[in-house]
Amino acid sequence: MTDLKVSLLGHTLKNPIIPASGTFGFGYEFAEWYDINCLGSISLKGTTLSERYGNPLPRVAECSSGMLNAIGLQNKGVDKVISEEIEKLKAVYSDKVIANVGGHSEEEYISVCEKFDGCDKVFAIELNISCPNVKGGGMAFGVDPTVASNLVAKIKKRVKKPIMVKLSPNVTSISEMAKAVEGAGADAISLINTLVGMRIDIATAKPILATGSGGYSGKGVFPVALKMIYDVKKAVSIPVVGMGGVSSAKDAVEMMMAGATAVMVGTQNLINPYACKEIIETLPAVLNKIKTEKISDIIGRAQ
Amino acid sequence: MKQEILTVKSNIALASDVYKMTLGECEKPIPGQFVEIAVDGFTLRRPFCVYDYDGKNMTVLYKVLGEGTKAMSKMQSGQKADVLTGLGNGFDIEKSSKPLLIGGGLGAAPLLYLAKCFREKGIEPVLFLGAKTASELCFLSDFKDFKVYTSTDDGSEGFKGTIVDGLKNLSLDFDRFYACGSVNMLKSLPSFSDRGYISMEARMACGFGACMGCSIHTASGTKRVCKDGPIFDVKEVIFD
Ligand SMILES: Cc1cc2nc3c(=O)[nH]c(=O)nc-3n(C[C@H](O)[C@H](O)[C@H](O)COP(=O)(O)OP(=O)(O)OC[C@H]3O[C@@H](n4cnc5c(N)ncnc54)[C@H](O)[C@@H]3O)c2cc1C
Ligand SMILES: Cc1cc2nc3c(=O)[nH]c(=O)nc-3n(C[C@H](O)[C@H](O)[C@H](O)COP(=O)(O)O)c2cc1C
Ligand code: FES
């Protein structure tokens, strides 16, 4: 029997596969496709203090081997996320989940984190300081090591639940960023968020996305993500959660060998609603091939 | 919502850039629902309304617009296609006993099956199909069993002028309209009547409510075209 269990931030996941924030709604949407209790955990849609509509349409565009998005953190605001969305999720998912927090200011990040700190369903908070789609916030916190570590230090003082900082690949040295947030007290790091990109409609000579640019994700980013995870794992001693272009169980195994304790799957859920379930079901066969019984044994094996 | 591996039964050209693809066998859809077809070599699925359903097979009417639909036009009978079916809310046919169905160009796509569903209930719908020019109504013969009025901007078929002008000109007796077409056409409908439902379009990533890629403003807040729609009460939608 293959053992798929991994331990993350004091919580045992029955397997390391977690749908990535923004590609799985608040989870219950997918319960219409399959029993989502098979998932290791779920990273919820990015949540802000007040309700946000997000950016004007079009906010998605296709690329070869991936897509661009400029959703702009559409959500109902943290109070309704806790009282409505997480309540709906509880009915279809029994394990604990990861809240994903976005913001425009330090105060906003702190308030949202504090609210999730009091929510039993959440075992960890993923701090999105890497969203390329929110003006004046999001990624602005994630490209300067000093700004990022100040934010993390302030949140750590106020919040008891473990903080996982989600890093942007749109930086000169992601390892420097990782070290900075580790120094400020981050409990884990997740990466990568999307890469800034653009598509142009040749008929109008204008960008397809209403905001001009957006974040690139999907299969095409996999090798870029893998290298960054490998580098970050070398640079820090806290756990690393990997994501970026994962579309198969083999990709997930590769990412764990690079150093990921758990693997998030994003864009592939939008193309194949059964993606996470299929990856989980295929993991034992992939591990069998490499004669591994315990998946936790492969974490960082390529280091 | 369901993922189905369907077989292409036929894929024929009605005009140089308009095709009809029949896929089967699949479950009975609600009129106004859409499907998402995975096209080899493309990341995102392509959304299309259900044009027709014969009890076993479903047909989509599509325009070759970019690379994805071009690749679809080359698909052969017998080929398998990975399709998400039963997406979106669909039209509520219980809401009307004297329906008027309005299509702008390829916006006629969801109306044939809708008209058939009304007839099945013993209700005879009236249709109004408009386009820029007659050649854009290349699918008109599919509607020959129904009462159909037409208009074209250039007068090459039916009333000469816009759809709204054509509708105003007729003073038809109806209790609800059901419309699909370009955003500009849909936007102009309230000047004709606000008693009806419209099928909205948006660029989509998932098509089933997960990514928030297709959200629009409505009188009752933000709604996803793919999941809360694509059919909305015309009074609800706030056009940008
Ligand atoms: C709910 C819904 C129902 C639809 N029903 C029909 C139908 O019955 N018949 C029909 O001909 N067309 C329909 N469309 C439009 C159709 O989906 C697009 O024409 C098609 O996706 C274009 O693909 P492409 O690869 O040829 O174009 P490309 O421009 O190469 O496509 C690139 C990306 O943009 C998206 N895209 C481009 N144009 C549109 C558009 N107008 N609307 C939405 N997405 C677009 C594509 O899906 C793809 O993700 C519908 C759209 C929606 C949202
Ligand atoms: C439509 C969409 C919405 C996203 N929204 C969020 C979000 O709200 N918060 C966040 O931290 N990341 C968000 N992301 C980034 C993903 O969680 C993930 O980091 C990225 O897409 C790379 O993984 P992938 O290639 O598997 O998609 C979003 C991605 C997509 C495609
Ligand atoms: S296209 Fe993903 S929510 Fe509508």
- Domains (range + CATH), chain A: 6-298 (3.20.20.70)
The residues with which B232 forms a beta bridge, in sequence order, are B198
Class of domain B200-240: mainly beta
Tell me which residue has its CA closest to atom 35 in ligand 1. B203
CATH number of B93-189: 3.40.50.80
Tell me which residue has its CA closest to atom 25 in ligand 1. B68
Q: How far is the CA of B188 from the centre of ligand 1 (A)?
A: 22
The contacts of residue B147 (CB under 8 Å, 6+ apart) are B124, B125, B126, B127
Using N-to-C axis directions, what is the helix angle for A145-158 and A174-183, rounded to 10°? 30
Q: Which phi and psi (to 5°) does residue B106 adopt?
A: -65, -5
Q: What is the DSSP string of B11-77?
A: EEEEETTEEEEEEES-PPPPTT-EEEE--TT-SS-EEEE--EE-SSEEEEEEE--SHHHHHHHT--T
Residues of A in contact with B38 (CB under 8 A): 271
Amino acid A1: pLDDT: 83
- Residue A177, pLDDT above cutoff 70: yes
Catalytic site residue from A38, A63, A113, A131: A131
The residues with which B184 forms a beta bridge, in sequence order, are none
Tell me which residue has its CA closest to atom 13 in ligand 1. B48
% of chain A residues with pLDDT over 90: 94
Residue B110 structure tokens: 């969801």
Contact A269 B210 (CB under 8 A): yes
> Under an 8 Å CB criterion, which residues of A touch B?
22-25, 29-30, 32-33, 45, 53-54, 56-67, 69, 71, 74, 218-219, 267, 269-274
Q: How far is the CA of A77 from the centre of ligand 2 (A)?
A: 18
Average of pLDDT values for A177-187?
98
Active site residue A63: no
At A224-241, the pLDDT tens digits run 999 999 999 999 999 999
Pairing of strands A195-197, B2-15: unpaired
What is the number of the ligand 1 atom nearest to the C-alpha of B200?
Answer: 1
Model confidence band, residue B160 (pLDDT cutoffs 50, 70, 90):
very high
Q: Tell whether ligand 3 has an atom less than 6 A from the beta carbon of residue B86.
A: no
Residue B199: CB atoms within 10 A of its CB come to 26
Average of pLDDT values for B229-235?
97
- Range(s) for CATH 2.10.240.10 in chain B? 200-240
The residues with which B150 forms a beta bridge, in sequence order, are B129
At A17-76, the pLDDT tens digits run 999 999 999 999 999 999 999 999 999 999 999 999 999 999 999 998 999 999 999 999
At B72-127, the pLDDT tens digits run 999 999 999 999 999 999 999 999 999 999 999 999 999 999 999 999 999 999 99
Mean pLDDT of all residues in chain B? 97
Nearest Cα residue to A22 out of A187, A138, A116, A185 = A138
Amino acid A112: pLDDT: 98
Contact B43 A45 (CB under 8 A): no
CA distance B69 to chain A (A): 14
The contacts of residue B49 (CB under 8 Å, 6+ apart) are B32, B33, B34, B60, B61, B109, B110, B180, B199
Residue B49: CB atoms within 10 A of its CB come to 28
> In sequence order, which ranges of chain B are alpha helices (DSSP H)?
67-73, 111-120, 163-170, 183-188
Substitution site in A59, A60, A62, A209 for ligand 1 pocket (most atoms within 8 Å of beta carbon): A62
CA-to-CA separations, B75 to A163, B10, B35, B109, in angstroms, rounded: 49, 9, 17, 20
Model confidence band, residue A145 (pLDDT cutoffs 50, 70, 90):
very high
Nearest CB neighbour to B206, from listed A64, A74, A270: A270
At A58-67, the pLDDT tens digits run 999 999 899 9
Least-confidence region, from A16-25, A136-145, B36-45: A136-145
Please, how many CA atoms are within 13 Å of residue A148, restricted to the half-sphere of its CB? 29
- Residue A137, pLDDT above cutoff 60: no
Contact A60 B205 (CB under 8 A): yes
Residues of B in contact with A218 (CB under 8 A): 43
- Residue A136, pLDDT above cutoff 90: no
Amino acid A209: pLDDT: 97
Cis-peptide into B157, omega within 30 deg: no
Specify the amino acid at residue A135: K
CA distance A54 to chain B (A): 9
- Range(s) for CATH 2.40.30.10 in chain B? 2-87
Displacement of CA B93 from its chain's centroid (Å): 15
At A243-254, the pLDDT tens digits run 999 999 999 999
Q: How far is the CA of A221 from the centre of ligand 3 (A)?
A: 22
Tell me how far apart the alpha carbons of residues A252 and A44 are, in angstroms, rounded to a whole number. 20
- Residue B222, pLDDT above cutoff 70: yes
Would you say domain B2-87 falls under CATH 3.30.43.10?
no
Average of pLDDT values for B204-224?
97
Type and span of the H or E element at A59: none
Amino acid B37: pLDDT: 98
